[in-house]
């Protein structure tokens, strides 16, 4: 592959989305549409990865990550006008320019590599990515000559009766020779139904000049279609999630029901993990090997170690060590770290706390801002009272401690190794190593 520049058009408002958010920032499989596009573009290794922004451009810029050059299109006067905004960059570049759209999150690297390869092998002036639809209404039509070369692209509103019957449509994605593109942009006009500068007119200009304009038909039309409505967004979501599930299954993950399993695009899952239906695995979650994730779980931006079992629980920004059992109906909030071979049981909420190896919080407890040592048992109904109405305070519980059922631990508090609290105790003072305290307030039995 030769020198490459990518230009992603992301300036439109997307009025049909009926949203205050720019269209390209709506998410598909846990990532904005435009982020999907620029990430795919990055894998093509372009010299310049440019994004044209317009409506709420600063918001798009703030929420789109990567080594990107953002250029503002002050007025949205068409796709040709959008590419004109990169004129200065085009002047200093010699190679292939790939124009992408920020509302096509399903595009694959394979399809784009095929487009670029055929463009460069044929030394074409323009190579258009096309697809065929049973109902092409609303899309620009590809007009070819007898030799099969493209002579022009006609927007739907500008078609004649004969052109409207053509079912090969323009996806908008094109490769250009950079020098010819720059020259042709200067020749665009607004003599069309929309009164805009159409990038598609570049193909007609170059064809009239005798330059080679070719097209590549995409194997899968779904990946080329832009998202313009909430209905389109839902269809894109379903398509991408099924693709993600298929990829994980290919890599050795068992997914019982892919149609009812929701895995974000940046999630990593190890071999021999089993995932049951109605599970959501989101963000940058990493799941190790041989994990069992039962039905109705939500796991976000978390790490799950080997051989962990999770049932009907919510886990957010947390870490779980190997061979630990979570759930059912546990809630692990941000900052939670659970060690190896531990247990967090039903109706337990843990926030910003560390649970040591082999320790158990079996049921009906709230553990907040707490450090629990190894092989400690937290009885049912235990609460760490971490908030005094103004500040949060920390509780520290040592190794091999036994916290009786219905204990209330008033932070700041330290309970030593091998210490015990009696059932129903309200502990307001530190408990020494090996001591036993009971009562309200709890007192030592010594």
241/259 Cα distance (integer angstroms): 8
Tokens, residue 241: 């999630």
Same domain (yes/no): 50, 187: yes
pLDDT tens, 317-346? Answer: 999 999 999 999 999 999 999 999 999 999
Q: Domain limits at 335?
A: 252-437
Q: What is the pLDDT of residue 326?
A: 98
Residue 203 scores a pLDDT above 80: yes
Identify the weakest region by mean pLDDT among 3-7, 12-16, 404-408.
12-16
Do the annotations mark residue 358 as ligand-binding?
no
Counting the structural domains of the chain, the total is 2
Same domain (yes/no): 266, 193: no
Tokens, residue 398: 């040592």
Helix and strand tally (H, E) in the chain?
A: 9, 40
Do the annotations mark residue 262 as ligand-binding?
no
Q: What is the pLDDT of residue 153?
A: 86
Q: What is the pLDDT of residue 445?
A: 80
Instruction: Read off the CATH number of the domain in which 22 is found.
Output: 3.90.550.10
Q: What is the pLDDT of residue 337?
A: 98
Instruction: Read off the CATH number of the domain in which 270 is found.
Output: 2.160.10.10
Task: Give the pTM.
Answer: 0.91
Same domain (yes/no): 176, 271: no
What are the backbone dihedrals phi and psi of residue 387, each rounded to the nearest 5 degrees, phi first? -125, 125
Residue 152 host element (H or E): strand 150-154
Max Cα separation, the chain? 101
Q: Is residue 15 part of a domain?
A: yes
Same domain (yes/no): 320, 212: no
Do the annotations mark residue 164 as ligand-binding?
no
> Directed axis angle between helix 33-42 and helix 109-121, to 10°?
50
Q: Which residue has the higher pLDDT, 408 or 147?
A: 408
Last residue of a domain, one of 224, 244, 263: 224
Do the annotations mark residue 405 as ligand-binding?
yes
> Directed axis angle between helix 178-185 and helix 201-208, to 10°?
100
Same domain (yes/no): 303, 219: no
Residue 446 scores a pLDDT above 80: no
Average pLDDT of 21-36?
97
Q: What is the pLDDT of residue 148?
A: 84
Same domain (yes/no): 91, 202: yes
Same domain (yes/no): 118, 64: yes
Q: Is residue 247 part of a domain?
A: no
pLDDT band at residue 1 using 50, 70 and 90 as cut-offs: low
184/227 Cα distance (integer angstroms): 28
Do the annotations mark residue 411 as ligand-binding?
no
Tokens, residue 61: 């810029």
Same domain (yes/no): 63, 207: yes
Residue 175 scores a pLDDT above 90: yes
Shortest CA distance to 423 belongs to which of 405, 435, 437?
405
Task: Evaluate whether 235 touches 204 at the Cβ level (below 8 Å).
Answer: no
Shortest CA distance to 140 belongs to which of 26, 226, 213, 33?
226
Same domain (yes/no): 268, 201: no
- Between the CA atoms of 191, 103, 107 and 125, what dihedral angle is there, to the nearest 10 degrees? 20
Q: Which long-range contacts (CB under 8 A, 24 or more apart) does 52-58 make?
A: 52/7, 52/8, 52/9, 52/10, 52/11, 52/82, 52/83, 52/85, 52/86, 53/10, 53/11, 54/10, 54/11, 54/12, 54/13, 54/82, 55/11, 55/12, 55/13, 55/22, 56/13, 56/21, 56/22, 57/11
Q: Is residue 229 part of a domain?
A: no
442/350 Cα distance (integer angstroms): 24
Residue 364 scores a pLDDT above 70: yes
Q: What is the pLDDT of residue 191?
A: 84
Do the annotations mark residue 49 as ligand-binding?
no
Do the annotations mark residue 103 as ligand-binding?
yes
Same domain (yes/no): 214, 261: no
Active site residue 363: yes
Instruction: Concatenate the DSSP letters of all residues of 275-311 into one string.
Output: E-SSEEEETT-EE-TT-EE-SS-EEES-EE-TT-EE-
pLDDT tens, 135-170? Answer: 988 888 999 988 888 888 888 888 999 999 999 999
Same domain (yes/no): 324, 414: yes
Same domain (yes/no): 203, 299: no
- Kindly state the percentage of the chain with pLDDT values over 70: 100
pLDDT tens, 187-198? Answer: 999 888 788 999
Q: Across all residues in the chain, what is the average pLDDT?
A: 95
Q: How many CB atoms lie within 10 A of CB 72?
A: 12
In the set 48, 81, 363, 393, the catalytic residue is 363
pLDDT band at residue 260 using 50, 70 and 90 as cut-offs: very high
């Amino acid at each position: 592959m030769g020198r490459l520049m990518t230009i992603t058009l992301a300036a439109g408002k997307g009025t049909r989305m009926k949203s205050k958010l720019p269209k390209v920032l709506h998410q598909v499989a846990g990532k904005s549409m435009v982020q999907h596009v620029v990430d795919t573009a990055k894998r093509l290794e372009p010299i310049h990865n440019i994004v044209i922004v317009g409506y709420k451009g600063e918001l798009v810029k703030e929420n789109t990550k990567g080594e990107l050059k953002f250029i503002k299109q002050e007025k949205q006067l068409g796709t040709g006008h959008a590419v004109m905004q990169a004129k200065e960059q085009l002047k200093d570049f010699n190679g292939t320019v790939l124009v992408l759209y920020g509302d096509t999150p399903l595009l694959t690297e394979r399809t784009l590599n095929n487009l670029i390869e055929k463009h460069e092998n044929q030394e074409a002036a323009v190579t258009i990515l096309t697809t065929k639809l049973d109902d092409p209404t609303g899309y620009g039509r590809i007009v070819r000559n007898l030799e099969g070369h493209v002579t022009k692209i006609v927007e739907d509103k500008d078609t004649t009766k004969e052109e409207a019957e053509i079912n090969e449509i323009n996806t908008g994605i094109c490769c250009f020779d950079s020098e010819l593109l720059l020259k042709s942009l200067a020749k665009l006009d607004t003599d069309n139904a929309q009164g805009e500068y159409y990038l598609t007119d570049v193909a007609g200009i170059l064809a009239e000049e005798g330059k080679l304009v070719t097209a590549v038909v995409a194997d899968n039309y779904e990946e080329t279609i832009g998202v313009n409505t909430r209905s389109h967004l839902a269809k894109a979501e379903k398509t991408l999630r099924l693709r993600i599930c298929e990829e994980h299954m290919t890599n050795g993950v068992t997914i019982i029901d892919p149609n009812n399993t929701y895995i974000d695009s940046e999630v990593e899952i190890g071999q021999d993990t089993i995932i049951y239906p109605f599970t959501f695995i989101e963000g940058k979650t990493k799941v190790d090997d041989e994990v069992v994730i039962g039905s109705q779980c939500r796991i976000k931006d978390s790490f799950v170690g080997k051989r962990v079992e999770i049932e009907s629980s919510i886990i957010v920004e947390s870490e779980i060590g190997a061979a630990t059992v979570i759930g059912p109906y546990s809630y692990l909030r941000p900052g939670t770290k659970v060690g190896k071979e531990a247990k967090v049981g039903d109706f337990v909420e843990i926030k910003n706390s560390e649970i040591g190896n082999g320790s158990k919080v079996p049921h009906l407890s709230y553990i907040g801002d707490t450090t629990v040592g190894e092989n400690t048992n937290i009885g049912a109904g235990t609460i760490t009272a971490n908030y005094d109405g103004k500040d949060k305070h920390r509780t520290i519980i040592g190794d091999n401690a036994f916290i009786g059922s219905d204990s209330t631990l008033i932070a700041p508090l330290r309970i030593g190794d091998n210490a015990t609290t009696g059932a129903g105790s309200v502990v307001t003072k530190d408990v020494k190593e090996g001591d036993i305290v009971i009562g309200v307030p709890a007192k030592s039995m010594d």
